[in-house]
Amino acid sequence: MSFYRALNRSLIKNYVNTREVVPWYQKEQKLSALECWYKDNVYPLWFKYVKGPFERYQYEHTVSHLRGYGLMFDDRHNTNDPVIERAIELLPPDLMIGRYRRIMRSVELNYRKTHLPVEYQNYDPMIPYLAPFMEEAKFQMQEEQELLRFNPWDRRLYSGNTTGMGETTPHSAFTAW
C-alpha cells in the first residue's frame, strides 16, 4: 500500500473518531462576560436612543414620501430585476393598471414639483400587493432553471444597466454619450 493511501486511511479514521455529531453553528453559543455586559447594559440604550429612533424616522420619512406622490412601497422595486419582471407579468390586469397609473401620476407630480392633496394621502403605502406574485415568480423561475439545467455561470449577457462584462455598477465601464 502506498504512503498516501495509508495516510489517507489514518486521517479518515481519526476524523471519524473525533467528528462531532452537532455542527458548530447549531451549538449553543456562550457569550463572554464583556459580551453579556454589553448585551445587558449598552445595547438597550443604543436601541432606545439611537437605532430605534433612526429606524422610526426612516420609516416615517419613507411613508410620507410615498403618500406625497401616491405610490405604494412595491411600486419602487427595480423593474429590471428578473423576479420583479416575472411578478409584474403575473399581476392581474386591475393591479397592473393601478400600478402603472400610480407610477405615471408620481412622475407627473415630480415633474410639476407638487404633491398629492392631503385628502388623498390617507392610505397605508406599506401594504405589499406584489409579494405573493414575487413568491410565485421565484417558484416558476426555480422550476425553469431545474428543467433547463441552468448553471449560475450561464447568465444573461445584458441585464438592466450592466452588461455582464465585469462591471459592478451601471455605466462604470462604458461611457453613455
Give the separation between CA 80 and CA 74, rounded to whole angstroms: 14
Give the separation between CA 134 and CA 84, rounded to whole angstroms: 6
Residue 104's pLDDT is 97
CB 97 within 8 A of CB 65: no
Q: How many CA atoms lie within 13 A of 11 on its CB side?
A: 6
CB 70 within 8 A of CB 105: yes
Non-local (6+) Cβ contacts of 165 within 8 A are 173
Q: How many CA atoms lie within 13 A of 27 on its CB side?
A: 8
C-alpha dist (Å) from residue 153 to 148, 149, 150, 159: 14, 12, 8, 14
Residues lower than pLDDT 70 in the chain = 1, 16, 18, 20, 150-177
**Per-chain mean pLDDT for the chain:** 85
Residue 155's pLDDT is 56
Residue 156's pLDDT is 53
Rounded to two decimals, what is the model's pTM? 0.65
Give the separation between CA 64 and CA 99, rounded to whole angstroms: 18
Residue 77's pLDDT is 93
Non-local (6+) Cβ contacts of 69 within 8 A are 105, 106, 109, 110, 115, 116
Residue 61's pLDDT is 97
Residue 121: count of CB within 10 angstroms of its CB: 16
Non-local (6+) Cβ contacts of 169 within 8 A are 162
Residue 176's pLDDT is 47
Residue 3's pLDDT is 86
